[in-house]
């Protein structure tokens, strides 16, 4: 095979055997059942990334290039193909990167540098018109035209292969015919069982992974110990209260006031689940109904904590959430964000899939 520069890839990419050996090693690194199940949870829409790779021409571009391509070049090629004069659109590049993170984690393309991709034998197979036609035919036959996953393809194609820029109009909204309503609002008003599943899932996964309370330094959390505010911590959008309960259990003797905030239905269900389990919310914790898009009612708390809140919303909505919190800050107040960080190269499959799921269901 002909060598292709310093990246160590031939013009035909890594062999199928090499890719499989690499994936086998990654699978062996999954040490707990919860890790494996988490991949299954986020892996439900996995085929939509492959379908996008086919329909947007990503596999075809890489196969024809025969050498590494950056995300910018791939996005530019897509822009030209859809007749978009703004071929260097940052939104399209972001869409390409989010999709290729998953494809790279699956071994379907190779990453040779941050945001830089190269073919391997699996890429070439997926660029084959006969093979990818089979994937497309079965995908659309199984998903059906009104599924969220099918709408992901239709919606993204209409937008010139860009992710949603609003939480009120995306693949989920198109599939359920609820344009103008966010996914979470739809769950609360029309499908509360989904909201229950979300909160139960967050609580269940947290129970199976190391809690941040176990490694976050006490001094970094409490500072000098001198309380500057009546309220120490506000758990914004805290769900059933698994985080704030863990904080209370970790520091049972700290004389601190804490506030658990979420929508009324979520707080009520969390309380009911505690009753069923014979548990009681720590007396230092006050429950408070709050929508984080509205004014923050607790002013001047020492800590405003957000756990996996911001990754659920498009950038403009994240700015609004943070602005509402910022307006409540006092000198010395802090915002603590506990969320996922996506690597520019070698992103773990579970993280890449979670990000893709947000693109499909949230925005």
For 33, the enclosing helix (H) or strand (E) is helix 33-42
Domain of residue 92: give its range.
5-162
- For residue 10, the model assigns a pLDDT of 58
Q: Do residues 117 and 229 share a domain? A: no
Q: Do residues 12 and 158 share a domain? A: yes
- pLDDT tens-place string over residues 147-197: 999 999 999 999 999 988 899 999 999 999 999 999 999 998 999 899 888
pLDDT mean over 230-247: 94
pTM of the model: 0.83
Using the predicted structure, report yes or no on whether residue 350 has a pLDDT greater than 80.
Answer: yes
Q: Do residues 113 and 247 share a domain? A: no
Using the predicted structure, report yes or no on whether residue 212 has a pLDDT greater than 60.
Answer: yes
For residues 23 and 211, give the distance between their C-alpha atoms in angstroms, rounded to a whole number.
Answer: 28
Q: Does residue 360 lie in a domain region?
A: no
Q: Does residue 26 lie in a domain region?
A: yes
Q: Does residue 149 lie in a domain region?
A: yes
Q: Does residue 226 lie in a domain region?
A: yes
- pLDDT tens-place string over residues 5-43: 334 455 678 999 999 898 888 777 777 888 888 888 888
Q: Does residue 81 lie in a domain region?
A: yes
For residues 333 and 206, give the distance between their C-alpha atoms in angstroms, rounded to a whole number.
Answer: 26
> Domain count of the chain?
2
* Mean pLDDT estimate for the chain: 90
Q: Do residues 146 and 217 share a domain? A: no
- For residue 87, the model assigns a pLDDT of 79
CA–CA distances in Å: residue 57 to residues 50, 117, 173, 363:
11, 14, 25, 22
pLDDT mean over 87-107: 93
- For residue 146, the model assigns a pLDDT of 86
Q: Do residues 228 and 150 share a domain? A: no
Q: Do residues 33 and 148 share a domain? A: yes
Last residue of a domain, one of 162, 186, 220: 162
Q: Do residues 25 and 147 share a domain? A: yes
Q: Does residue 40 lie in a domain region?
A: yes
- For residue 198, the model assigns a pLDDT of 86
Q: Which residues are catalytic?
A: 311
Q: Does residue 320 lie in a domain region?
A: yes
- For residue 359, the model assigns a pLDDT of 86
Q: Do residues 154 and 221 share a domain? A: no
């Amino acid at each position: 095979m002909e060598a292709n520069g310093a990246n160590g890839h031939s013009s035909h990419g890594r062999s199928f055997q090499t890719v499989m050996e690499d994936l086998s090693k990654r699978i062996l690194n999954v040490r707990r059942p919860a890790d494996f199940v988490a991949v299954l949870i986020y892996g439900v829409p996995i085929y939509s990334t492959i379908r996008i790779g086919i329909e947007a021409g990503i596999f075809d571009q890489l196969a024809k290039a025969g050498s590494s391509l950056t995300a910018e070049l791939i996005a530019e090629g897509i822009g030209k193909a859809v007749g978009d004069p703004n071929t260097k659109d940052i939104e399209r590049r972001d869409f390409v990167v989010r999709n290729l993170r998953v494809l790279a984690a699956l071994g379907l393309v190779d990453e040779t540098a941050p945001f830089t991709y190269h073919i391997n034998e699996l890429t070439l197979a997926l660029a084959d018109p006969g093979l990818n036609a089979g994937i497309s035919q079965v995908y659309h036959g199984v998903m059906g035209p009104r599924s969220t996953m099918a709408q992901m393809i239709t919606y993204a194609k209409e937008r010139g292969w860009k992710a949603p820029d609003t939480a009120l109009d995306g693949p989920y909204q198109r599939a359920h015919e609820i344009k103008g309503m966010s996914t979470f609002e739809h769950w609360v008003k029309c499908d509360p069982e989904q909201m229950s599943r979300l909160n139960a899932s967050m609580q269940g996964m947290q129970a199976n992974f190391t809690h941040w309370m176990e490694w976050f330094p006490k001094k970094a959390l409490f500072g000098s110990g001198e309380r500057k505010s009546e309220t120490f911590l506000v758990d914004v959008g805290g769900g059933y209260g698994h985080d704030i309960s863990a904080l209370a259990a970790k520091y049972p003797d700290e004389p601190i006031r804490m506030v658990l905030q979420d929508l009324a239905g979520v707080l009520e269900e969390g309380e009911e689940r505690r009753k069923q389990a014979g548990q009681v919310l720590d007396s230092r914790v006050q429950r408070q109904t709050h929508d984080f898009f509205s004014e923050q009612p607790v002013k001047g708390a020492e800590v405003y904590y957000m756990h996996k809140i911001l990754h659920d919303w498009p950038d403009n909505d994240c700015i609004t959430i943070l602005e509402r919190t910022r307006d409540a800050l006092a000198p010395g107040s802090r915002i603590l964000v506990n969320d996922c960080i996506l690597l520019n190269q070698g992103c773990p499959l579970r993280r890449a899939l979670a990000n893709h799921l947000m693109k499909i269901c949230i925005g």
